[in-house]
Structure 1
Amino acid sequence: MKTAIAWLLLCASLLSNAVQASTDSPETGMFLLRSDDGSWQPALLLNTDMQVQISGPVAEVQIRQSFSNPGGAFAEGRYVLPTSESAAIHAMTLEIGERRINGQIQEREQARKTYQQARDNGQRSGLVEQQRPNLFSTSVANIGAGETISVILSYTELLQPDAGRYSLRLPLTMTPRYNARPQPVDGQQRKPNASSTSPEGPIVASLWRDGPSHQADIQITLDSGFALHEVSSPSHAISSHFDGRRYRVQLLENPVVMDRDFVLNWQLPSEAGNQVAVFTEQVGEDHYALMMLSPAAEPVSRQRQPREVFLILDTSGSMQGERIRQARSSLIHALGRLQPEDRFNVLEFNSEYSMLYREPVPASEDNLSEARSWVAGLPAGGGTEMLPVLRAALTQPNEAGYLRQLIFITDGSVSNEREVLQMIQQRLRQARIFTVGIGASPNSFLLRKAAEVGRGQFTSIDDRSGIEQSMERLFEKLESPVLTHLQLELPEGIDAEIWPQKLPDLYPDQPLLIAVKLNQLPEKVALHGRQPALWEQHLQIPEPQQGNGIARIWARRKIEAAMDRLNEGAGEDEVRDLVLPVALEHQLMSRFTSFVAVEEQPVRAADEPLDSQRVPNLNPVDHRLYPQTSLGLNGLWALALALLLAGLLVLNWKPRHA
C-alpha cells in the first residue's frame, strides 16, 4: 500500500507541475524566463523597428532593437539577431531616452572586455558580436526597472537581380539548428569544433499575437525611378504607393509578430534592362565602383546536354508540417522537368539517408512514376545529418557524356555549416549544386554559400503558391548553357582590386556584379569566357551614378573571400590577419571585430543585483517546436498518465497466495 501511495503522490506532483507550466503565463499576464541564477523573473521585452532605403541593387537598412525591463531590478539582456547573410554592418548606437552613444569598432576580445568591465561597473552598455555571417548576438547591460534601452544597427546589403527580378529578405527569427554528429575523416573520429555548436540561443513558441513583445514595425522606401512591373510580398500583406519616382511600401498589419521572415519582391519592366550600370563612391583618396554587367541576353548556344540529376530531400524533424509538403511538391515538380535522355536518382535524409535506386536510372515514365509515389509517402522526423548524404551523392561514379547536377531541398537548419561547405569544396569535381530553401526562416547563408561553392544557384520557396514559378525559373537555368571561366579585362593604366577575384559562372539573364577599388573609372571593359566555345563581349561604361555604401560593399566582399579560405583549409590566424585590417579600416562587423558602446556614468551600485537573461526568438510559424527540455509539457503529461495507470495497477493488485 505504501508503494502505491508513493506512486500516486509522484503522479499528482507531475500533473501539478504540468498544469502550472501550461497556465503560469495566462494567469499572470506576464511572460517569465528563468534567469542565470535559476530564479523566474519577468522577461525583458523586445521590439524592433526597421527602416529600409533601396536604390538600384543596394539596400540601406536600420534596425532599432528596444529592450524594455518590466521587472523591479536592473537587468542584462542577451539576444541573437538574425540578419541577411550579405549584410555589411557598419554602425551601432546605444539609445537611452534622448541620449545617443555611438558604438566603437574594436577587436572582438577587446570589445568583450570593454563591455564586461562596464557591465560590472554598473554602466549602461551594449555589445554586438558576429556568431555566424547571418547571426549576431546583442547584449545590453544595466537596464533599469521600467526602463527601455535601444540598440540601433545600420547595414548595407547588395541585392542580386535575376532576370530583372529583385528580392529583399529581412530575417525576423530563425529555425532551431541541429547539432550534427561528428563525422569520421580518414577513418578517424573527429571532435566537434566551436563552429558546429548551436548559435541561436533559446527559441520559444509565439507569446502573444498582439502582445507587448517580439513585434516588428517595417517601413520601406524603394527608389526605382520609374514604375515597376510588380511589387509583392509572399510572406505578408502589403500596400505600395508610387509617387512618380519611388515606392513607399507598408505592411497592412504593422507591427507584425516576429515569427517569420519578411520578403519583398519586385520586377523591373522588360524595357528597363541595361547591359551596364555603374555606381561610384569616393572615400578619401580612394575610388570605389559597383559594376552591374549584363552579357548578351540570349546564349550563343541552346544545345541541351543530357543530365544526371540527384534530387536530395531533407526529411528531418524541422521539416514537419507545411515545410515537408512544400518540399515534396518541389521535388515532384522537378521530376516532371526531366527528359527521357536524362538519368536521375532520389535521396532523402534525416538521422540516416536512403536512396530510391542504387544508382541513377533513365528518366523513363515508369521510373518517374515510381519516384513520385515514393516521394509522396516520405514523412518528416529525426535529425538533420547532411554530410553522409552529400558524400554519397558526390562520390557516385559519373557517367560519361552527362552533366551532373544536385538539387538539394532543405531548410538548412544545421549548425555545422563549415563542415558542409568543406565537403562540397573537396568533393564537387564536375558536379553543380542547386539549393532550394524551404520555410518561413531558412538558413539562407548556408544555402546561398553552398550553391556558390557548388557553382549553381540558390532558389527560395517562400510559400506554396510560388513553388511552380520558382522551380520553373530554376529549371530554366538547369537546362541552359552557362558562361564559365569569366575574366574581366580593363584598359591599360587602370589599377584595380576586384572582388570577387574569381568571377562566378553566369546563367541566362543573370548580371555580373563586381565591386572594384580603382584609380580611375574606365570608358569600356571586356568580358571573356566559355559557352562552351570561346566567348567575348565588349561593354561601354555609361555615366556613373553616385551611390552610398559602395566602399562597404567592396570591403564586405573582400572579407567574405578571406573567410572562404577557411573552407579551403586555411588556418584561423591566417584568415584573421587578412580580415582584421579591412574590417577596422571600413568600420565593419566581422568574425574578428565587434561594436561596443558604453555610457560614462554608472547607474547601478556595486551591491545591487543584476538579473541576466537570454531573450528568446520566436519559433517560426511553420515549424513544430521540439521541447527545450528532455520531456517538455506533452512529455510530462504522457509520463504522468503512464505513472497514474501504473499506480492504479499497483493499488488494485492483489498477490496470489499459494
Structure 2
Amino acid sequence: MNCCGLLTLKKEPVPLKSIEVELEVRDHVATVVSTLNYENKEDKPLEAVFVFPLPGDAAVCHFSAKIGQTQIVAEVKEKQEAREEYDDALSSGQQAFLLEESEQSPDIFSLSVGSLPPGESASIRLEYVTELAVQADDGLRFCLPAVLNPRYQPQGSEGAGVQVTSVPASLVPYSLSFSARVSSPRPVSKVESNCSLDPLQYLSTDQTQATVKLAAGHKFDRDVELLIYYKDAHQPTAVVEAGQASAEAGTLMGDPVVMVSLYPEFPQSVMSSTTACGEFVFLVDRSGSMGCATNYSKQQETRISSARDTLLLLLKSLPMGCYFNIYSFGDSYEHVFPQSVEYSEKTMEEALKKVEQMEANLGGTEILQPLKHIYSQPCIPNQPRQLFVFTDGEVGNTKEVIDLVNKNSGSHRCFSFGIGEGASSALINGIAKEGGGHAQFITGTDRMQPKVMQSLRFALQPAVVDISVTWDLPKEVSVTVLSPPITAVFQGQRSLIYAQLSGQSSEAAEGCVTVKYSLAGHPSENQLHFSLRPAADTGLTVHRLAARTLIRSLEMEEGDSRRENDGGVKEKVVQLSVQSGVSSSFTAFIAVNKDKNEAIQGPLLHRDIPVPMGGVLGFAATPCCLMRTYYLCEDAVDEMDDDYTELCTDGVIMNEEAEIAEQPPRDPLLQLVSLQKASGCWLLDPALAAALGKSSEEVEKSKPAPASSEVWATILALIWLHGFQTDAKDEWELLAAKAVSWLNAQNAPSVTECLEAGNALLGCSVQKTALGI
C-alpha cells in the first residue's frame, strides 16, 4: 500500500479550518483558485501535511502563503533542491511551505506546512488551469475532487507514497465554499451539478456570461461536479494568446500561443455503417473497493453489480463475426478464455455464465499484469483490437500503467471508465488518451450502461487513419506544434492542438489550420480560419496549458530515457517547468518566510490532515450506524472475500446487528436483453412472455399463423423496447439494430401482420419505420 486510508480518528486538533474555491471557466478552459486556511491551536510549533487530489491534466501555476500580514510567493525549483531548501528552512527556524506532485500519479499533490508557531494562522493560495472534458451529451465536465481514495501499490514496486488519513466526511473539521463564473463566445444554456446549486445568474443579456455557486450547507462529502452546456457547442474555435512581456522572445512563454479546438463531422453515409469486425477485450476491476455502492440513490446497486449488467449489454450488442475475451483483476487476474474467441451463441453464453459469478473478491488493484498479458497476445488479422477498461481507479503506479498503454498504442484503441468518487482522473484520462480511445466517468447518480454503450458505438466506428495537421500562416510567422500528434478522431469529439507562433504579423493577419484524415476509404478534411490577433484578457492560461501538454509528453519520453540513464529529458522538463511556472513530476513549489529568523521554541509536531473518507465505505457514518463502527484500511478491504455481512451496500458503515437487504428484482430491460440470442433474435418461450408481462398462452394465441416463432418473438421484443423503454434507448439501440438485421435477413412475409398483432397484444402503437424494418 502506498497510502493508508480509513484509520480511526485520533482526537487531535486539526489545523485546516476552511477551503475556498473560485472557478473561472472561459469556453472550455478552467482556472481554479483554491485558498486553504490553517490555524495552529496547539501549544507547540506544527508541521502539517495535507494530501489532496487535483484533475490529472491540471497545470498548477501559482502557490503562495500568507502568515499574518506577510505574503510569500513560491518559486518552482527542481524537486530535490526544493526539498533540501524546505528542510534547511525548518532547521533554521523559518516558516516554509512545500507543494509537490506525487511521483506515482500526477493527480495527487502533497502540501507540507512547516513551522507554524502556536496560535498562528496561515492562508495558502493554490491556482491551477485545466481543460474541460466533453461529455456524451456535449456538456463540459469540471470536477473538484473531494475524495482521495487509497491508491493500491503493487507488491514489490518502488516508492513509498504519502500517508493519507481518511475520516467519515461528517467528521471532517473544515468547510468548503465554491463559486464559478462562466463566459463563452456562445450563450450558456445551463449549468448542472451533483450538488445543490443556487440559481444560475446571467451577467449579460446575450447570456454569454453567468455565475453560480454551491447552495449553503454543502458538506464536502463527495466530488463537486459541474456540467456546463453551451449553445452550438460543436463550433470549432481558435484562441491566440499574447506572450509574457517579461519573457524572452522565441521562448514558449515569450511568444504567442494558439489553442485550436476542432470537432470533426463525419459524412452521414459513413456514420450509418458500423464495422462488423474487431477484437473486443473487456478488463474489469474486481478489487475489494468495487463492492461499494455505485451512487447515492440506488442503495442496493454496487459497482461490481453495475459492471455485470454493463457486460451483459455489451456482449449482447457485439456483431457476429467479431472476436472477444473478458479479463478481471485484483491482486491476481483471470480470463474467461485462454485467448480471444469468435463471437457465437456458444461463446457468448459461456462468457455470460462467468460474468454472473463475478464478485469484488480479488483483493488489490494490480492492473499492470493483466494489461501485459493482453498485449502479449498476438493481434488477430483484420480484427482491430478494442480494449475496454472498467476500474474505480485506486491504482498507485499510474504512470507505469499509462506508459505501458502508450507503448502498445499502435496495436489497439483503449476506452476507459472511472467508476465512483475518487477514481483517478490521471489514470482514466491517461490510458484513453495514450490508447487513442475515449474516457468516461460514472459518478453520482450516473448509470454506467449508457456511457459504456456510447463508447462501444465509438469502437464500432471505422477507424480514422492517415491523420495530418497542416498550417497556412503568413510567411513571416512560423509555427511549432506543442501537442502530441492526433492519433484518434471520433464523431462529435473535440481535438485540441496547442502551437507556438514565432515572428511578427500584422494586426489583420489570418492563419488557417487543416486536419485531413481518411475514414472507411473516404478522404475528409476540416478547416478553420482564425485571426492571429491575440485575444484580450486571457492572462497566460493557454500558455500554461500548452506548457503542461509539452511537459506531459516529455515525461512520457523520460520513462524510456530513465532506463537508459539519460538525464536529458528530465533537464528539459525542469527547465520548461521553471520557465513557465507550471508543476511537473521533477519540480516542486517552495516558499520560505526568510523574514522570520528567530528559532522556533519547542519540538516540531507532525500532523497529517484528514481527507474525506473514500474506498469501500464511501461516505459519512450516520448516527444510527454508530453502535459498532468500523474504519478499515484499503488493504484490509482488498483482502476481503465477497463476505460483506458487516458492511451495508449503500456506502455507509453498518452495525453488525443490521440485516442485509434482499437483492432487488432484476431490471425489466436487462431481463429481456438477457434472453436475446447472439444472432440478434429472441425465442418464443415462457421466459420471454414473463419479461413482456404476458402469459405464454396470450403470446402464443396472438401469433399470426404464417409467422415463425422466432420472427414473432423478435418483433414482440422490439415493440416492447420501443414502446416502454424509450428513455433507455442509448442502452439497447445497438442490440435492437442487430435484431432488425436478423429480421431483414429472414425475408419474412408476415412482418406487417406481426407488428399489428404485437401492438394490439402489448397496447403499443409502434410504427414499422421506427423499428427500421
TM-score range, shorter chain: 0.7 to 0.9
- 2:696 corresponding residue in structure 1: none
In 1, the alpha carbon distance for the partners of 2:217 and 2:455 equals 33
1:504 is aligned to 2:487: yes
Instruction: Provide Cα deviations, 1:74-127, integer angstroms capped at 9, x if missing partner.
Output: 111012221111111111110223432222222222222222222222222211
- 2:242 corresponding residue in structure 1: 281
Please report how far the alpha carbon of residue 560 of structure 1 lies from its aligned counterpart in structure 2 after TM superposition: 0.9
Q: For this pair of structures, how many residues does the alignment match?
A: 581
Please tell me whether the aligned partners of residues 82 and 588 of structure 2 are also in contact (alpha carbons under 8 angstroms).
yes
The 1:106–1:78 alpha-carbon spacing in structure 2 relative to 1, beyond 3 Å, is same
- 1:557 corresponding residue in structure 2: 549
The 1:176–1:511 alpha-carbon spacing in structure 2 relative to 1, beyond 3 Å, is same
- 1:470 corresponding residue in structure 2: 451
Please report how far the alpha carbon of residue 429 of structure 1 lies from its aligned counterpart in structure 2 after TM superposition: 4.4
1:52-131 equivalences in 2 (<5 Å)? 52-131=23-102
Instruction: Provide Cα deviations, 1:109-167, integer angstroms capped at 9, x if missing partner.
Output: 22222222222222222111121321111111122333321211111112243563311
Please tell me whether the aligned partners of residues 409 and 436 of structure 2 are also in contact (alpha carbons under 8 angstroms).
no
In 2, the alpha carbon distance for the partners of 1:550 and 1:227 equals 22
- 1:266 corresponding residue in structure 2: 228
1:216 to 176, 187, 190: 176
The amino acid of 2:599's aligned partner reads: A
Q: Please, which moves more after superposition, 82-91 or 113-122?
A: 113-122
- 2:633 corresponding residue in structure 1: 627
Please tell me whether the aligned partners of residues 227 and 242 of structure 1 are also in contact (alpha carbons under 8 angstroms).
no
- 1:193 corresponding residue in structure 2: 158
The 1:488–1:590 alpha-carbon spacing in structure 2 relative to 1, beyond 3 Å, is same
SS in 1 for 2:553: helix
1:210-609 equivalences in 2 (<5 Å)? 212-213=173-174, 215-224=175-184, 226-234=186-194, 236-243=195-202, 244-257=207-220, 259-269=221-231, 271-284=232-245, 285=249, 286-298=255-267, 301-302=270-271, 303-305=273-275, 306-322=277-293, 323-365=303-345, 367-381=347-361, 382-491=363-472, 493=475, 494-519=477-502, 520=505, 522-533=510-521, 535-537=523-525, 539-543=527-531, 545-546=535-536, 547-548=538-539, 549-570=541-562, 571=565, 573-602=567-596, 605-609=599-603
2:121 to 142, 148, 167: 148
In 2, the alpha carbon distance for the partners of 1:92 and 1:246 equals 28
Q: Please, which moves more after superposition, 599-608 or 59-68?
A: 599-608
The 1:142–1:267 alpha-carbon spacing in structure 2 relative to 1, beyond 3 Å, is same
The amino acid of 1:523's aligned partner reads: G
SS in 1 for 2:56: coil
The amino acid of 1:526's aligned partner reads: T
The 1:238–1:467 alpha-carbon spacing in structure 2 relative to 1, beyond 3 Å, is farther
The 1:460–1:536 alpha-carbon spacing in structure 2 relative to 1, beyond 3 Å, is same
The amino acid of 1:252's aligned partner reads: A
The 1:526–1:207 alpha-carbon spacing in structure 2 relative to 1, beyond 3 Å, is closer
The amino acid of 1:424's aligned partner reads: V
In 2, the alpha carbon distance for the partners of 1:58 and 1:483 equals 26
**Aligned Cα RMSD in Å?**
2.8
The 1:153–1:468 alpha-carbon spacing in structure 2 relative to 1, beyond 3 Å, is same
Please tell me whether the aligned partners of residues 21 and 34 of structure 2 are also in contact (alpha carbons under 8 angstroms).
yes
Instruction: Provide Cα deviations, 1:212-254, integer angstroms capped at 9, x if missing partner.
Output: 33x32221112245544442224x2333414133232222344
- 2:130 corresponding residue in structure 1: 157
SS in 2 for 1:446: helix
In 2, the alpha carbon distance for the partners of 1:100 and 1:74 equals 20
Please tell me whether the aligned partners of residues 528 and 536 of structure 1 are also in contact (alpha carbons under 8 angstroms).
yes
In 1, the alpha carbon distance for the partners of 2:409 and 2:493 equals 23
- 1:37 corresponding residue in structure 2: none
In 2, the alpha carbon distance for the partners of 1:403 and 1:240 equals 47
The amino acid of 1:397's aligned partner reads: P
- 2:19 corresponding residue in structure 1: 48
Please report how far the alpha carbon of residue 351 of structure 1 lies from its aligned counterpart in structure 2 after TM superposition: 1.5
Normalising by structure 2, what TM-score?
0.70
In 2, the alpha carbon distance for the partners of 1:488 and 1:631 equals 48
In 2, the alpha carbon distance for the partners of 1:538 and 1:329 equals 38
In 1, the alpha carbon distance for the partners of 2:368 and 2:634 equals 25
Please tell me whether the aligned partners of residues 169 and 219 of structure 2 are also in contact (alpha carbons under 8 angstroms).
no
Q: Please, which moves more after superposition, 274-283 or 301-310?
A: 274-283
In 1, the alpha carbon distance for the partners of 2:66 and 2:85 equals 18
Instruction: Provide Cα deviations, 1:520-572, integer angstroms capped at 9, x if missing partner.
Output: 56432222222243634252423464433111111111111100103445546
Normalising by structure 1, what TM-score?
0.82
Please tell me whether the aligned partners of residues 526 and 536 of structure 1 are also in contact (alpha carbons under 8 angstroms).
no
* Larger relative strand fraction: 1
In 1, the alpha carbon distance for the partners of 2:320 and 2:191 equals 38
- 1:614 corresponding residue in structure 2: 608
Please tell me whether the aligned partners of residues 615 and 634 of structure 2 are also in contact (alpha carbons under 8 angstroms).
no
Please tell me whether the aligned partners of residues 31 and 127 of structure 2 are also in contact (alpha carbons under 8 angstroms).
yes
SS in 2 for 1:563: helix
SS in 2 for 1:282: coil
Instruction: Provide Cα deviations, 1:354-393, integer angstroms capped at 9, x if missing partner.
Output: 1122333343455434434432331113122212211222
Please tell me whether the aligned partners of residues 234 and 492 of structure 2 are also in contact (alpha carbons under 8 angstroms).
no
Please tell me whether the aligned partners of residues 176 and 203 of structure 1 are also in contact (alpha carbons under 8 angstroms).
no
Please report how far the alpha carbon of residue 606 of structure 1 lies from its aligned counterpart in structure 2 after TM superposition: 4.7
Please tell me whether the aligned partners of residues 326 and 464 of structure 1 are also in contact (alpha carbons under 8 angstroms).
no
Please report how far the alpha carbon of residue 514 of structure 1 lies from its aligned counterpart in structure 2 after TM superposition: 0.8
- Structure 1: 5+ residue stretches without partners: 1-20, 26-30, 33-40, 183-191, 635-658
The 1:330–1:248 alpha-carbon spacing in structure 2 relative to 1, beyond 3 Å, is farther
Please report how far the alpha carbon of residue 610 of structure 1 lies from its aligned counterpart in structure 2 after TM superposition: 1.5
SS in 2 for 1:541: strand
SS in 1 for 2:43: coil
- Structure 2: 5+ residue stretches without partners: 1-6, 250-254, 294-302, 619-630, 641-773
The amino acid of 2:331's aligned partner reads: S
Q: Please, which moves more after superposition, 104-113 or 156-165?
A: 156-165
The 1:628–1:426 alpha-carbon spacing in structure 2 relative to 1, beyond 3 Å, is closer
SS in 2 for 1:301: helix
Instruction: Provide Cα deviations, 1:409-443, integer angstroms capped at 9, x if missing partner.
Output: 01221212233233323445422111111110101
The amino acid of 1:486's aligned partner reads: I
2:165 to 188, 193, 203: 203
In 2, the alpha carbon distance for the partners of 1:430 and 1:240 equals 48
SS in 2 for 1:201: coil
The amino acid of 1:292's aligned partner reads: S
